[in-house]
C-alpha cells in the first residue's frame, strides 16, 4: 500500500480550482476519475486468458498477466482533453517480484519519465502521482524482476484533492484489519485452532469544515458516481504516510450536513477495501 510522488510535482498545478491556499502533499486524495477502458489500455504481451482489458475492470478477481518476465509496458491512450495527475494499481505482484516501476508520458512526440523508477515495498494498492497535464498517452514501465508481472486493476485520471486534512478519529486503511474466522473448541473447552474465511480492511474518514460550494463543485460528483458500487483509491496523508493507501468502496452513503456555528459541512466516508 503506497503512494509514489514525483520529485518534480508542482502542487499548484495538481490542485483543482477552488482549493484554499496552503495545499500540501498531506491533503487526502481520492483516485476515482478513471480514463482506463477495455479499449484504451494495451500490454506488450499477455498470457492467454489474462488480457490487458481485464485491467479496466474494477473487480480484483480478473487479472492481466504477461507472457514472460521481460520488460513490459502497459500503455493507456487518452482523449487528450482530460488532464491526468495519477496512475494507480491494485492486486499486483510488483513488490514481491522486485519489479522496478516507473510512469512515462508521451510529450511533444517522445516518451518522458514523469514518475521516477521505484521498487514497491509490497503488493498492496499503489498510486503514482505527477503534475497535472494533458497527455495523448501514458504508460507504466515494468522492468525485469524475479517473476512474471501481473495486476488486476489500473486507474489513470485526475485526483480529487480534499479541501481539508484529516487529523483525529481516523484509522488508516492499512491498519483497519478485519477477519472472519471459525473458532474450533473441543467439548472439554480446549482451543483447537481457527480457520480464516476472509480478510479485508475497513476505515472511516471523518471530514469537517468543508465549504458548501467546494462540496457541490467537487465532492458531490464523486459521491454520485461512486456511491456504494465503484471502488476508488484513497490516501489519507500522502506526504507523511506514503505507505498507507487503500483501494476501497463506500459502505454507506455520506450525509453532508451543515454544522453550527459555521454552517460548514461535515460527513464521514465509511470504506471497505482489499487486504
Does residue 142 share a domain with residue 30? yes
pLDDT for res 10: 65
Does residue 256 share a domain with residue 205? yes
Does residue 111 share a domain with residue 66? yes
pLDDT for res 21: 52
DSSP notation for the chain: -EEEE-TT--HHHHSPTTPPS---TTS-EEE------TTTEEES---TT--GGGGGSS-SS--EE-SSSS-EEEEEE--SSS-EEEEEEES--TTTTT--EEEEEEETTEEEEEEEEE--SSSS-EEEEEEEE--SEEEEEE---SS--EESEEEEE--EE-SS---SS---GGG-EEEEEEEEE-TTS-EEEEEEEEEEEEEEEEEEEE-HHHIIIIIHHHHHHHTTTS-EEEESSTTT-TT-EEEEEESS----EEETTTTEEEEEEEEEE--
pLDDT for res 12: 47
The answer to which of 63-67, 111-115, 168-172 has the lowest mean pLDDT is 168-172
The residue among 102, 137, 161 that closes a domain is 161
**Structural domain of residue 212, as residue ranges?**
173-273
Q: What is the pTM of this model?
A: 0.89
pLDDT for res 181: 79
Is the residue at 168 inside a domain? no
Structural domain total, the chain: 2
Does residue 195 or residue 88 have the better pLDDT? Answer: 88
pLDDT for res 17: 44
Give the domain CATH number at 120.
2.60.120.260
- Which tens digit of pLDDT belongs to each residue from 152-203? 999 999 999 999 999 878 888 888 788 887 878 877 878 878 887 777 789 9
Does residue 73 share a domain with residue 35? yes
Amino acid at each position: 500500500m503506497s503512494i509514489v510522488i514525483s520529485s518534480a510535482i508542482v502542487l499548484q498545478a495538481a490542485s483543482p480550482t477552488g482549493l484554499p491556499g496552503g495545499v500540501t502533499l498531506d491533503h487526502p486524495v481520492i483516485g476515482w476519475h478513471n480514463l482506463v477502458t477495455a479499449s484504451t489500455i494495451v500490454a506488450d504481451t499477455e498470457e492467454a486468458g489474462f488480457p490487458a482489458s481485464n485491467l479496466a475492470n474494477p473487480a480484483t478477481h480478473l487479472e492481466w498477466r504477461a507472457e514472460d518476465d521481460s520488460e513490459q509496458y502497459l500503455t493507456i491512450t487518452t482523449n487528450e482533453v482530460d488532464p491526468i495527475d495519477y496512475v494507480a494499481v491494485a492486486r499486483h505482484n510488483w513488490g514481491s517480484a522486485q519489479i522496478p516501476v516507473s510512469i512515462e508520458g508521451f510529450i511533444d512526440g517522445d516518451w518522458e519519465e514523469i514518475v521516477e523508477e521505484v521498487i514497491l515495498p509490497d503488493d498492496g494498492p499503489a498510486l503514482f502521482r505527477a503534475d497535472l497535464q494533458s497527455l495523448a498517452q501514458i504508460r507504466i514501465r515494468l522492468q525485469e524482476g524475479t517473476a512474471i508481472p501481473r495486476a488486476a486493476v489500473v486507474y489513470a485520471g485526475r485526483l480529487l484533492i480534499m479541501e481539508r486534512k484529516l487529523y483525529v478519529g481516523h484509522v488508516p486503511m492499512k491498519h483497519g484489519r478485519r477477519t472472519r474466522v471459525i473458532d474450533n473448541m473441543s467439548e472439554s473447552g480446549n482451543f483447537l485452532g481457527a480457520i480464516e474465511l476472509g480478510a479485508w480492511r475497513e476505515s472511516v474518514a471523518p471530514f469537517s469544515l468543508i465549504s458548501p460550494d467546494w462540496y457541490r463543485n467537487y465532492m458531490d460528483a464523486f459521491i454520485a458516481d461512486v456511491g456504494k458500487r465503484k471502488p476508488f483509491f484513497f490516501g489519507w496523508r500522502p506526504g507523511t504516510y506514503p505507505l498507507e493507501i487503500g483501494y476501497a468502496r463506500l459502505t454507506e452513503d455520506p450525509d453532508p450536513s451543515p454544522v453550527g456555528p459555521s454552517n460548514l459541512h461535515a460527513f464521514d466516508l465509511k470504506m471497505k477495501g482489499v487486504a
